[in-house]
Amino acid sequence: MSKLDELIAELCPSGVEYKELQNVLTIKNGSDYKGFSEGDIPVYGSGGVMAYVDRYAYDKPSVLIPRKGSIDKLYYVEESFWNVDTIFYTVINSEVVLPRYVYHWLLREHLEKLNTAGGVPSLTQKVLNRVKIAVPPLEVQREIVRVLDNFTFLSAELSAELSAELSARRKQYEYYRNQLLTFDNGAKEMQLSDVADLFRGEYITQKGSKPGNIPVILGGQEPAYYIDKANHDGEIVVIARSGVSAGFVSYWNQPIYVTDGFGYEAKKDVATPKYLYYALKRKEPELNAMKRGAGVPHVSGEMLGKVKLSIPPIAVQERLVNVLDNFESICSDLSVGLPAEIGARQKQYEYYRDLLLTFAETGGTLATDRQTDRQTDRQTG
pLDDT digits (tens, 9 = 90+) for 298-309: 999 899 999 999
Phi-psi map region of 243: left, alpha, beta (phi>0 left; psi -120 to 50 alpha):
left
Residues of the chain with pLDDT under 70: 1, 154-156, 158, 219-221, 333-339, 360-381
CA separation, residue 198 to residues 26, 36, 232, 268, 311 (Å): 63, 54, 12, 14, 18
pLDDT of residue 184: 73
Contact assessment for residue 219 and residue 248, using Cβ atoms and an 8 Å cutoff: yes
Distance CA 88, CA 123 (A): 10
pLDDT of residue 154: 67
Contact assessment for residue 223 and residue 216, using Cβ atoms and an 8 Å cutoff: yes
pTM beyond 0.85: no
Q: What is the torsional sign of CA 237, 263, 303, 269?
A: positive
pLDDT of residue 220: 65
Residues 6+ away with beta carbon under 8 Å from 295: none
Phi-psi map region of 283: left, alpha, beta (phi>0 left; psi -120 to 50 alpha):
alpha
Query: Could you give the strand order of the β-sheet that contains 261-266, starting from the edge strand earlier in sequence?
Result: 196-200, 261-266, 235-240, 249-253
pLDDT of residue 378: 34
Distance CA 91, CA 81 (A): 13
* AA identity, residue 359: F
Contact assessment for residue 27 and residue 90, using Cβ atoms and an 8 Å cutoff: yes
Task: Return the CA Rg of the chain.
Answer: 29
Residues 6+ away with beta carbon under 8 Å from 59: 79, 80, 81
As a three-state string, the secondary structure of the chain is CCHHHHHHHHHCCCCEEEEEHHHCEEEECCCCCCCCCEEEEEEEECCEEEEEECCCCECCCEEEEECECCCCCCEEECCCEEECCCEEEEEECCCCCCHHHHHHHHHHHCHHHHCCCCCCCECCHHHHHCCEEEECCHHHHHHHHHHHHHHHHHHHHHHHHHHHHHHHHHHHHHHHHHHHCCCCCCCEEEEHHHHEEEEECCCCCCCCCCEEEEEEECCCCCCCCEECCCCECCEEEEEECECCCCCCEEEEECCEEECCEEEEEECCCCCCHHHHHHHHHHCHHHHHCCCECCCCCECCHHHHHCCEEEECCHHHHHHHHHHHHHHHHHHHHHHHHHHHHHHHHHHHHHHHHHHHCCCCECCCCCCCHHHHHHHHHHHHC
Contact assessment for residue 239 and residue 198, using Cβ atoms and an 8 Å cutoff: no
